[in-house]
Amino acid sequence: MSETNIKLYLKPVDFSKWKPASWVQSKFSLGKLLEKNQTKLPLEKADIVLLGMEEDRNAVVKGSAKAPNKIRQHLYNLNRISPRFKILDLGNIRIGKTVNDSYYALRDVCSNLVEQGKTVVLLGGSQDLTFGITKAFEANPFNLVNIDPKFDFKKGIKSINSETYLNFIIERQPNLYAQTILGYQNYFVDSLELDYSHELGSELKRLGEIRYDMSNIEPYMRDADVLSFDINAIRLLEAPAQYFGSPNGLYAEEACQIGHYAGMADQLKVAGFFNLVPRLDHDDLSSKLFAQVVWHFLEGAYYRKVETPSKKTDEFNEFLLEIDDIDLPLTFYQSQKTGRWWMKISDEEDTREHIIACTEDDYRLAAQNEIPDRWWKNIRKLNRMQNK
């Protein structure tokens, strides 16, 4: 699909309708930079692309179709990060005659932009749009990370909505390599759902676990291809424009920190922000917060340092650890620049290698002759993909 064909899917932003807040120094704002880039930066030279999608027909509670432009309004007021930031806002994807048409339009646009090496930021809309995003990865394995207070799948359900879309991703996307849910709250999750998630090999981190040390979510983000962020994961007091409405959840600064880690992620290709219902908001508090989460994502992406451990570079320390229950030594890598860690895993025949992000704690466990949980889970995933 050419750039011309992509534009057939889009409704461009009309920057004449954006009125900066009274406190904004307009010439230093992201909105002014995006307005300038709209005419001066060709798509092939952009690193990051903003999109909106006013689609909520499969939402459990309607209203999030109004969110993309509301988030934009406040995002544009924020700092431009850098005057040389190669970012474009391509506007909103036109919704289809049916919701399925919208999913396929989203697939086509994301697929094209990802193939061009762009990072896509999608302002939703309801979270079932995640299904449309993942359809852009039907030809390649991908990792999905969800920020969510609960699990958006229900075993046996055949109709898709904003709380069952994971059924369709897990059951219909054979190239899903890994799926992670961060920030879930255990009182919203049944034990059978937990058991099923473990059977699927999902990575699960409760709200309390990630709050204890937010840096531990970074490796999950580093390996992600798609991020799906549900505003319902944030506590109601700080994000009132949500239909779920829990007194517990992420604090505003934690949500921004997640956005920053996601932006820094080496291979993240599409990040979606969903389920904000403007009519439930107070003083645009939720729109302002999601705008700030997106801004932190953009800042992280601007300063992203892509690192790939390799035998051909001297920028990594390599550690080989012998473990009693494993035939081959466990191999760990540590970046000399950033201090980040990776581990190498191989399939049952030792014919296929895969390097995954990990933490220093994983290395320390292995050094004590204990096999890290991430190693076991990824071995199972690698062998499952090999047997498909």
pLDDT tens per residue across span 369-378: 988 888 888 8
Is a pLDDT exceeding 80 seen at residue 148?
yes
First to last CA, the chain: 30
Instruction: Give me the pLDDT at residue 347, please.
Output: 64
pTM of the complete model = 0.94
Give the span between the Cα atoms of 143 and 145, in whole angstroms.
Answer: 7
Tell me what the mean pLDDT of segment 126-154 comes to: 95
In this prediction, residues 298-325 reach a mean pLDDT of 87
Strands 226-230 and 142-147: parallel
Tell me which of 51-65, 71-85, 336-350 is least confident.
336-350
Q: What integer is the mean pLDDT of 332-358? A: 83
Would you say 103 and 131 are in contact if contact means Cβ atoms under 8 Å apart? Answer: yes
Fold of the 3-302 domain: Arginase; Chain A (3.40.800)
How would residue 312 be classed by pLDDT, with cut points 50, 70 and 90? low
Please tell me the predicted confidence (pLDDT) of residue 384: 67
Q: Which residue has the higher pLDDT, 334 or 308?
A: 334
- What pLDDT is stored for residue 327 in this prediction? 75
- Residue 196: pLDDT over 90: no
Return phi, psi of residue 317, to 5°. -85, 135
- Please give the mean pLDDT across all residues of the chain: 92
Q: How far is CA 223 from the centre of its chain?
A: 10
In the predicted model, is pLDDT for residue 350 greater than 90? Answer: no
Rounded Cα distance between 79 and 99, Å, is 35
pLDDT at residue number 157: 84
Domain(s) of CATH 3.40.800.10: residues in the chain: 3-302
Q: How confident is the model at residue 313 (pLDDT cuts 50, 70, 90)?
A: confident
Q: Give me the mean pLDDT over the 353-366 stretch.
A: 90
Note the pLDDT of residue 185: 96
Nearest-angstrom CA–CA distance, 130 and 249: 21
